[in-house]
Amino acid sequence: MKRTKIILGLLVLAITATMLSTSCASNKKDVLYGCDSTSIVSYSKIIKPLLDNNCNSCHSTAAAMSIGGGTILDDSTGIKNWTDTTGGNIPGLWNVCSKENTYPNRMPKNATPLSDCDVLKIKNWIYQGTNFNN
């Protein structure tokens, strides 16, 4: 009986350690928010900082026409043009950042790609309704 409890305890410990070591976190920021596909993704806390840090040096209102191909990602109107899911459409904002990209260039261009977790946050935010008020 005592031996069975020890074995079960070790098994639980091993499973827990495996789950913690194989999470999708690829940097400290991802550990904080994780890749939980069921949580509501906040625009102001997660998406806006992602866009500001990775996209808006080229895709801000000020830069879009000269170096960003006309794509504006620093206001809700510009972002909505890249988050349309009507008729099963794959949203451009998510697509250009993902490994499954069907556009000619993966974004951010000439920079480190977004982590899988950050791409998942963008995808989840879009499919949760592209809410700019949270």
Q: What is the pLDDT of residues 28-56, one digit of tens each?
A: 444 445 677 678 999 999 999 999 999 99
Q: What are phi and psi of 29, to 5 degrees?
A: -60, -40
Task: Tell me how far the alpha carbon of residue 64 is from its chain's centroid.
Answer: 22
Q: What is the pLDDT of residues 69-112, one digit of tens each?
A: 999 999 999 999 999 888 888 888 988 888 877 677 789 988 88
Q: What is the token pair recorded at 46?
A: 């997660």
Q: Is 69 helix (H, G, I), strand (E, B) or coil?
A: coil
Alpha-carbon gap, residue 38 to 124, rounded angstroms = 8
Nearest to 83 by CA among 128, 126, 40: 126
Ordered by start, the domain boundaries in the chain are 25-127
Whole-number pLDDT of residue 24:
43
Instruction: Please check the confidence at residue 7 and state whether its pLDDT lies above 80.
Output: no
